Amino acid sequence: MSATRHLLTLDELSQLPHWAAEMGRKYFSGEASHFLLHHNVYDLARAKRGYVGLVTFLQQEMLGNKHIVLYNRSEGISFGSQEAERQFLATLRVANPLADTKTLTALPRDPVPALGLIERFLYAGDQVAVIINFLETLVPAGEMTHLSSDERNLLVMFQRWLTSSRLLNSDNIVLFITENLSDVAQRFRENSRLTIIRVPYPDHAERLDYIRYELAEIAKRRNGRSEKEIEQLKADFKAKAERILREEGVDRLNEETKKFNEQLEKMKAELGNSVLGLKMQISDEQLAHLTSGLNRVHISSILKNATLSDEGLTIDLVRAKKKSIIEAECVGLIEFVTPKYGLDHVGGFEKAKAYLRNIAEVIRNGETEEAPMGILISGPVGTGKTFLAEAFAKDCGLNVVEFKNFRDKWVGSSESNLEKILNLIQTLAPIVVLIDEADATLGNRDSGGDSGVDKRIFSKIAAAMGDTDNRGRILWILMTSRPDLLPIDLKRQGRCEEHISLFYPESEADRLAIIEAMVRKNRIAHHVTDWSPITKSDLKLSGADIESILIRCRRVARQAGRKEVSPEDVRAVAQEFTPARDEVAIEYQTLVAVREATSRDMLPEAFRHLSPAEISQRIEQLRPMVR
């Protein structure tokens, strides 16, 4: 067997995408012959003849001199060329010389027998390239005891390929393809002889290149159609002009000619500003910027969708389509958030708002080295943690996404979901990531009873939050009323560097500021000048309580047939309102928020002079009474 590797030149390697050039260097140097490609593997890649799918790209640009054999569970065995098929069948004939042609060509589709034949060709053949797609369907993630007999057999087979010195020293290559690494058996994906290649989403320059290519391709089709339409219009007018000249005279012909020329110029202008009906309301540069986090297939979908819109390709259409694409890709794992209000609409919390405005200005100015890695917002229920976080995110001027429930009951699903989320966040950066109820969402290092899933999930999140390369690119905002349940690893400097604690309004001025903000937010019409029934109430009211009172006032006014809230409505509702909550739990949540605060200046006056020991002592007294 020949060990000659047909090398690509350095210039040819430099023309390949970065991930492909890395794979080429490792293979042609003899460092590796088994590769696992993952992440953006079902996108288009730039080839010499345009954009093609990943498998086609590998065949055309990197494996042109190989006998290519392809396999996936649905299609079974296929070949890159007739010569590859001939060589494959010749190998089978050597192993079974008595088999007839019909038997040899009836290739099995089931994984174990099909891959057994491919293994024989891989060991016996020369210049062989094997591409195995949808690897997660063959050796899925999970405990060994949960794998079927066939899955265990395939896992052993692939491990045998990786450890075979014969394959390593040959000119053969094996490419495995999967979208999410976490979906593949851990024992296989962590084998040191397997080279992991991450196929990234396109960056700004690559998206712009594809957009210009796609528009140019569409323009070619448009030009062909527009020329036919114009020629048809001219031919129709020529026949019409002859009739007019014959029946109505020169003056009438001159009038019709003028109308025809206006119609012709209008058609040329419309065709010049559209692409098969696509009106470009934004530039290609703007489109490339707006489509961060999308791949080329997604961008193609947006362009096609715009042809159905009367308004054409607009910023709003791109944003709406992007939101639907990403949320569909993540199957409810994350949600795009479009905050309506900034910090100016937040009532009270003046010191916290001033602090957050300063951070927002740092981010807007691009001073990434000064931006925090993360922010922890804690406080008792009803203090407006989520509203404050979304308002701050709006002032930062960045994309905003919120973690949803990514945990699943199926083996490996939770880790796979998390990997998908983290990959997407990387491609969407710069971005603000909101995690509400962080104590329940993120978990901790306790792996009891779940085969270590919690521990692995926690480690992935902690590593992502602590990656200093993302400072100024990804801002994590954790919100919780129980920061004591968050592992200290997540709250430390380098992950959540700023701890902001919110508390119920203490002064009349604070309550009045919240009332004014809630009236603006909920558009409550009123002619009230005295809000003292709320601001001077003896009850311990949260921001949510005040909002509930105001909404109830509006409902009372409408039931009475009035459009505006009156002072009498405010007095009546405030007098009968009772907050529904556990006061012991509220005190406990308040104290743990005090303990978490990293700025004493933001603490209520009652807690500023308490020592940490006194606060901790009271927390321990309340802990047994808190569910």
253 with 245: CB under 8 angstroms?
yes
119 with 157: CB under 8 angstroms?
yes
Reduced DSSP (H G I as helix, E B as strand, rest coil) percent helix, strand, coil of the chain, to 5: 55, 10, 30
- Give the Cα separation of 54 and 37 in Å (integer): 10
230 with 260: CB under 8 angstroms?
no
Over residues 246-255, mean pLDDT: 80
Over residues 339-349, mean pLDDT: 86
Over residues 1-15, mean pLDDT: 62
User: Hey, what long-range contacts does 88-93 have (CB within 8 A, 24 or more apart)?
Assistant: 88/117, 88/121, 88/125, 91/120, 91/121, 91/124, 91/125, 92/117, 92/120, 92/121
Over residues 597-623, mean pLDDT: 86
Q: Which residues contact 222 (CB under 8 A, 6 or more apart)?
A: 271, 274, 275, 276
Over residues 426-430, mean pLDDT: 82
- DSSP lists the bridge partners of residue 376 as 478, 499
Of 113-122, 153-162, 299-308, 350-359, minimum mean pLDDT range: 299-308
| Class of residue 205 by CB neighbours under 10 A (exposed 0-12, middle 13-18, buried 19+) | exposed
Two tokens, residue 576: 């009968």
Local structure of 403: helix, strand or coil = strand
**pLDDT for residue 90 is more than 70:** yes
- DSSP lists the bridge partners of residue 197 as 37
Model confidence at 20, pLDDT cuts 50, 70, 90, reads: very high
Q: What is the pLDDT of residue 209?
A: 94
**pLDDT for residue 554 is more than 60:** yes
Which of 88-97, 412-421, 563-572, 580-589 has the highest average model confidence (pLDDT)? 563-572
Of 64-78, 88-102, 181-195, 563-577, minimum mean pLDDT range: 88-102
Burial letters 252-286, b for 16+ CB under 10 A, else e: ebeeeeeebeeeeeeeeeebeebbeebbbbbebee
Q: What is the pLDDT of residue 276?
A: 46
Share of the chain above pLDDT 70, in %: 91
Q: What is the pLDDT of residue 328?
A: 79
Model confidence at 273, pLDDT cuts 50, 70, 90, reads: very low
pLDDT, greater one: 277 or 292: 292
**pLDDT for residue 332 is more than 60:** yes
**pLDDT for residue 459 is more than 60:** yes
Please write the tens of the pLDDT for every residue from 26-50. Answer: 998 888 999 999 999 999 999 888 8
**pLDDT for residue 1 is more than 50:** no
Q: Which residues contact 349 (CB under 8 A, 6 or more apart)?
A: 384, 388, 502
pLDDT, greater one: 445 or 399: 399
Over residues 472-483, mean pLDDT: 91
Two tokens, residue 398: 């960045």
Name all domains of the chain by residue range, CATH numbers in brackets. 10-199 (3.40.50), 204-329 (no CATH), 335-501 (3.40.50.300), 506-627 (1.10.8.60)
pTM of the model: 0.71
**pLDDT for residue 594 is more than 70:** yes
Q: What is the pLDDT of residue 79?
A: 94
Q: What is the pLDDT of residue 366?
A: 80
Q: What is the pLDDT of residue 168?
A: 79
Over residues 301-330, mean pLDDT: 81
201 with 32: CB under 8 angstroms?
no
